[in-house]
Amino acid sequence: MGEQDRNSLKTPLYSLHEELGGKMVPFANYLMPVQYPLGVMAEHKHTREHAGLFDVSHMGQVVITGDGADVWLETLVPGNIIDLKPGRIRYTMFTNEDGGILDDLMITKRDNDMFMVVNAACKEQDIAHMRAHLPDHLKLNELTDRALIALQGPMAATVISRFASEAKEQNFMSYLEAKIDGVTCFISRCGYTGEDGHEISIPADRAEDICRLLLSEPEVEVIGLGARDSLRLEAGLCLYGHDITVKTTPIEGALEWSIGKRRREQGGFPGADKILDQITNKNIKKRRVGILPDGRAPAREGTQVLDARDNVIGEITSGGFGPTFGGPIAMGYIKTEFSEKGTKVYLAVRKKKLEARVDIMPFVPQQYFRKH
Amino acid sequence: MTIYYSEDHEWINVEGSIGTVGITEYAQNALGDIVFVEVPEVGDEFAKGDEVSVVESVKAASEIYSPVTGEITAVNEDLEENAALVNSSPDGDGWFFKVTVSNKDELEELMDAGDYKTFIAGLE
């Protein structure tokens, strides 16, 4: 065991991962399963066709309690949090004074508090950021005694409703609390795969039992971080630290859909001047786009995007092979004048110049659940 | 014919003055699902140890080094459309290229099947 492994944290599901043959690798201070014996390709396809179970307990779960927690959160994020109805979830991001993204996150308005899920690699920094701004009348609690799992795929809702029937008709981006095997779970209809499904927060000491219950269902396979990454890339979803960073604004990152009308009019979040100016005047220099290589060779993160005359016009921030798409896919930043769908560009891959095209994401259709 | 193995997990099957090169079962298993293989072009010349090919799995790209000095005489064109042949048949249909073996002494620096088996057992 290497130095890094010894210092790595383990989730409450670590021993289950080992028992299931998970290949454990260091990720965001944790030892996490990158894949299981099934392999990344089959795990990916299984999730798209049936249901996949993911351990995402490395992510941060935080609760803000106190009157006006929603009003205060709007001073840190550009999302519309005040107008969220109880039981609804919003995707937003912490921004800094330059309009850069510090992290992206999910905020749920619950009856008496605000529940947030933040990225593992950013959670310490996010919590410090919030504490630095937290008024005395609000309390911040990190829920370190809870595991977080995701059940994703077309059969996910059917499976979970066998244990918590309430979850079946639950709308996309909504939250409820229900008992699974006698223990109260926080069940959110959302995910990071582009599929229907749920994220489920479970008391740490019962997480393994509940995972075993879900895994005993015929539709469910356990899925590692490798397939989680290829699934989210096909779905066009950003990976913080790669596709969005402190050096990209929400507008450059093509995330302006997450900033509602009232926030655009009123501002009041870090970097609002710059971000709102970018929305109004469309004066961004670069834009996050999908990029599809014409051939079969994947273009990885860091690959330069060139124009016909070899000028560097962008960079790939996530790239690989889309198992369901059936070919190489990528996303990255490109100079705005090249960002239109269909624009022919070139990728500098190993001394070669490969043809590619700007495309819109997602690369596979999203399957989110909406009540009729 | 004799099959030799490199510490980089390539095999070279030498028949006369031509060697057929691929990667081993151990290597394909470690790489995982292979989605793309960049093979050299016929006529390219390489020194032993040169980067001659690239294998892309869903996870990452890995370089393949030439186990001998020589000139490429053929490449496996089936890999272009079906890179997964390397997973399903690493020592058969998943071969990468054929190369002239210009210096037979270089083969002495490679392992035979027994030595390679011992070598990978030591990596576990």
Of the partner residues B33, B38, B56, the one whose CB lies closest to the CB of residue A41: B33
Q: DSSP letter at A189?
A: S
Here the CATH number for the domain that contains residue A312 is: 2.40.30.110
Residue B118 lies in a domain: no
Q: Report d(CA B77, CA A62) in Å as an integer.
A: 53
Residue A240 lies in a domain: no
- From the CB of residue A360, how many other CB atoms can be counted at a distance below 10 Å? 12
Residue A307 lies in a domain: yes
Residue A24 lies in a domain: yes
CA atoms A53, A54, A57, A62: torsion sign: negative
Here the CATH number for the domain that contains residue A34 is: 3.30.1360.120
Q: Are residues A282 and A148 both part of a single domain? A: no
Q: Are residues A329 and A279 both part of a single domain? A: yes
Taking CA atoms, A329 is separated from A216, A233, B5, in Å, by: 33, 8, 34
Residue A101 lies in a domain: yes
Query: What per-residue confidence (pLDDT) applies to A1?
Result: 47
Q: DSSP letter at B70?
A: E
Of the partner residues B32, B56, B57, the one whose CB lies closest to the CB of residue A297: B56
Taking CA atoms, A220 is separated from A56, A138, A189, in Å, by: 16, 40, 17
Residue B98 lies in a domain: yes
Q: Are residues A159 and A32 both part of a single domain? A: yes
Residue B114 lies in a domain: no
State the smallest CA–CA distance between residue B33 and chain A in angstroms: 6
Domain that holds residue A82: 61-142
**Is the CB of residue B80 less than 8 Å away from at least one CB of chain A?**
yes
Kindly report the pTM of this predicted structure: 0.93
Q: Are residues A158 and A14 both part of a single domain? A: yes
Residue B44 lies in a domain: yes
Spatial CA neighbour of A15 closest among A57, A78, A47, A64: A57
State the smallest CA–CA distance between residue B36 and chain A in angstroms: 6
Residue B121 lies in a domain: no
- Across the beta sheet with A220-222, the strand order is A175-180, A183-188, A197-203, A146-152, A51-55, A220-222
Residue B38 lies in a domain: yes
**Is the CB of residue B104 less than 8 Å away from at least one CB of chain A?**
no
Here the CATH number for the domain that contains residue A78 is: 3.30.70.1400
Residues of chain B by 3-state class (helix, strand, coil), percent to 5:
25, 35, 40
Contact (CB<8Å) B36/A39: no
Q: Are residues A268 and A347 both part of a single domain? A: yes
Query: What per-residue confidence (pLDDT) applies to A220?
Result: 98
- Of A80, A107, A142, the position where a domain reaches its end is A142
Of the partner residues B32, B60, B83, the one whose CB lies closest to the CB of residue A39: B32
Structural domains of chain B, count: 1
Spatial CA neighbour of A269 closest among A119, A138, A126, A92: A92
Q: What is the ipTM of this complex?
A: 0.83
**Is the CB of residue B44 less than 8 Å away from at least one CB of chain A?**
no
Structural domains of chain A, count: 3
Q: Report d(CA A309, CA A332) in Å as an integer.
A: 20
Q: Are residues A265 and A338 both part of a single domain? A: yes
Contact (CB<8Å) A300/B60: yes
Query: What per-residue confidence (pLDDT) applies to A7?
Result: 77
Give average pLDDT by consecutive 10-residue segment, chain A, 372 residues. Answer: 69 98 95 96 98 98 98 98 98 98 98 98 98 98 98 98 96 98 97 98 98 98 97 98 98 98 97 98 96 96 97 98 96 98 96 95 94 69
Q: Are residues A354 and A260 both part of a single domain? A: yes
Residue A326: closest C-alpha in chain B: B35
Residue B33 with chain A: CB contacts under 8 Å: 39-42, 323
Query: What per-residue confidence (pLDDT) applies to A47?
Result: 98
Domain that holds residue B44: 2-105
Contact (CB<8Å) B59/A350: no
Residue B124 lies in a domain: no
Residue B35: closest C-alpha in chain A: A321
Of the partner residues B38, B54, B58, the one whose CB lies closest to the CB of residue A321: B58
Residue A320: closest C-alpha in chain B: B58
Residues of A with CB under 8 A from a CB of B: 34-35, 39-42, 44, 226, 230, 296-298, 300, 320-321, 323, 328, 350
Element (H, E) at B108: helix B105-108
How would you class A180 by CB atoms within 10 Å of its CB: exposed for 0-12, middle for 13-18, buried for 19 or more?
buried
Q: Where are the beta strands (DSSP E) in B1-124?
A: 2-5, 10-15, 18-23, 34-38, 45-46, 51-57, 61-65, 70-75, 97-100
Residue A249 lies in a domain: no
- From the CB of residue A340, how many other CB atoms can be counted at a distance below 10 Å? 12
Q: Report d(CA A252, CA A282) in Å as an integer.
A: 10
Taking CA atoms, A369 is separated from A132, A239, A338, A372, in Å, by: 37, 23, 34, 9
Query: What per-residue confidence (pLDDT) applies to A208?
Result: 98
Element (H, E) at A252: none
Q: Report d(CA A362, CA A345) in Å as an integer.
A: 19
Residue B30 lies in a domain: yes
Q: Are residues A265 and A302 both part of a single domain? A: yes
Q: Are residues A111 and A193 both part of a single domain? A: no
Query: What per-residue confidence (pLDDT) applies to A6?
Result: 66
Residue A225 lies in a domain: yes
Here the CATH number for the domain that contains residue B31 is: 2.40.50.100
Q: Are residues A181 and A261 both part of a single domain? A: no
Q: Are residues A47 and A156 both part of a single domain? A: yes
**What is the full per-residue pLDDT of chain B (124 aa) written as tens digits?**
799 999 999 999 999 999 999 999 999 999 999 999 999 999 999 999 999 999 999 888 899 999 999 999 999 999 998 999 999 999 999 999 999 998 999 999 999 999 999 999 998 7
